[in-house]
Amino acid sequence: MTIQRRTILKGALASTAAVAMPNLVRAQAAPFRIGLLTVKTGPLAQGGIQMEQGLATFLKEKNSTLGGRKVELITADTGGNPAGARTKAQEVVERDKVDIILGPLAAFELLAITDYVRQKQIPLISVAAAEDVTQRNVNPWIIRPTATSGQCSHVMADYAAKEMKLKRMATISEDFAFGHEQVGAFLRVFEENGGKIVKKLWPPLNAPDFTPFIAQIGQVDGVFTGFAGSNPLKFLRAYSDLGLKGQIPITGGWTALDDALLKSFGDEAVGAISATYYTADHGTESNKRFVAAMAKDYDVIAGAYSAGMYIAGQCIEAAIAKLDGKTDDKTAVMAALKAVSLTDTPRGPISFDQNGNVVGEVFIRRCERQGGKLVNKTIKTYEKVSQFWTYDPAEFVKQPVYSRDYPPAKNLQ
C-alpha cells in the first residue's frame, strides 16, 4: 500500500509539472508587445509614416529582439485626430494587450489619451510634444525622448535674437496645440532678448492656401514658422511665389524643415534656418547606421519623426536589459525607462529629467544645396537642452502653459 501511495503521488506531481512547465515556458517566451499609434492619413501622414519606418528600422537592426525578449509590433492608425487616438489606444491596450505604447504623433492626440494612459497604468513613449504632460500635469506613465513643443523653439529664438540679430518678427503656424506652444515659447525667449513679435498668424491645419496669411506678414526682418506634416512644403512654395524668399529670412521649429522633407523641397527652402533635436548629419555611430538603413530600405532621408521612434526603441531595449527581461511589473518598467541614460543615439547623448522629458542636444541648421541635393547643415549645437530652457523649473510651471495667447503679445501691429 505504501509503495502504491508513493507511486500515485509521484505520478500526480509529474502530471502537475507537465501542465505547469509549458505554461512557465510560454510565459518566459511571451513576446514583448509594442503598440505604435501613428498617422497614415491626412496632412500629418508624412510624419506618421516616418514614425513607423524609424521603429521598423530599429527592430530590423535588432532582429526584433530587445534585451533578450522577442518583440511583436502592433501598428494603429489614429487618423490624426483626438477621437481616433482614444479609440486606438483602447484597442491596443484592451484587445491587443500591449506592454507599452509608442506615439502618438500630434500634441492634441496625446492630450486626448493622457488620462486613459494614467488610468490603465500603461507605459508610453511619446513623440507628441504636448507640454503639460511633463510639466504642470505630469503623467508618471509617460517619457518623451524627442522634445516638447517649445524645447526647440526656445533655442531658435535665442539664435534668432543673438546670432541673426533679428529685431522684428512675425510668427505663422497652424491653429492647434503644437503650433500654439511652439509660438509661445519662441515669443517668450525672443522678446526677453530684445526682439518684438509684431504679427501672429494662425492658418487652420487644413488650409488649402497660405497666400492670404503670408500677405499679412507686413514689415518684419524675420519669420518664425511652426508648420508640421506636409504644410511646410505648401508654405515655403507660396512664400517664394510671392517673392519674399531672400528678402525676409525664414526660421522654424523642428518640423518646419525636417530632413525627411528635403526631397520634396526645391530652391524655396535654401537658406531657411531651423532648430531641431535631430539632424541627419550628426556623427554618432548609431546615426550613421540609422541614416544608411533608412536610405537603403525606404529610399528616404532620415528625419526627426523616424529618429524619435528609433530612439524610443533604444530606450525600451535599455529598460528591458536593466530588468533582465522581466516586464510584468509596469511600475518597474516605468522606473527603468526614466532612468535610461544613453551616450550613442542618432541625436547624441540623452537622459531624462524628473518629469520624464528628455535632456539632450538641439541643433541649428541652414538648408543648403550641395552636389545638386538639398541638405540641412548644422551650424551650431546647444548642449543639454531642458524643456525648461534656462528657467528655474519650479518657477516655469507656475506660469500658464504656452498657448495661443500666452505669453501675451505686447508688440502686435
Domains of the chain: 29-148+282-359 (3.40.50.2300), 151-281+361-396 (3.40.50.2300)
> What is the Cβ-side half-sphere exposure of residue 7, based on CA atoms within 13 angstroms?
4
Q: Quick one: which H or E segment has residue 362? A: strand 358-370
At residue 185, the pLDDT reads 98
Judge whether residue 180 has pLDDT over 70. Answer: yes
Judge whether residue 16 has pLDDT over 80. Answer: no
Q: 199-211: per-residue pLDDT in tens?
A: 999 999 889 899 9
Q: Report residue 194 as a C-alpha cell.
A: 530684445
Cα Rg of the chain (Å, integer): 24
At residue 149, the pLDDT reads 96
Judge whether residue 12 has pLDDT over 50. Answer: no
Give the mean model confidence (pLDDT) for residues 252-266: 94
| pLDDT band at residue 350 using 50, 70 and 90 as cut-offs | very high
Judge whether residue 2 has pLDDT over 70. Answer: no
Q: 30-52: per-residue pLDDT in tens?
A: 899 999 999 998 888 989 999 99
Judge whether residue 4 has pLDDT over 80. Answer: no
The span from the CA of 340 to the CA of 318, in Å, is 7
> What is the Cβ-side half-sphere exposure of residue 407, based on CA atoms within 13 angstroms?
18
At residue 246, the pLDDT reads 87
The span from the CA of 143 to the CA of 126, in Å, is 6
DSSP string over 271-337: T-EEEES--TT---HHHHHHHHHHHHHHSS---HHHHHHHHHHHHHHHHHHHTTT--S-HHHHHHHH
Judge whether residue 394 has pLDDT over 50. Answer: yes
At residue 44, the pLDDT reads 86
Q: Report residue 310 as a C-alpha cell.
A: 528609433
At residue 18, the pLDDT reads 44
Judge whether residue 336 has pLDDT over 70. Answer: yes
Helix (H, G, I), strand (E, B) or coil at 373: strand
Answer whether 245's CB lies under 8 Å from 222's CB: no
Q: At what angle do helices 304-322 and 45-61 cross, to 10 degrees?
A: 40
Torsion over CA: 319, 322, 327, 332 (sign): negative
At residue 203, the pLDDT reads 97
135 class by beta-carbon count within 10 Å (0-12 exposed, 13-18 middle, 19+ buried): buried
The rounded mean pLDDT for the chain is: 92
At residue 29, the pLDDT reads 57
Q: 189-200: per-residue pLDDT in tens?
A: 999 999 999 999
Hey, which residues does 381 pair with through a beta bridge?
363
Closest CA to 133 of 397, 398, 405: 397
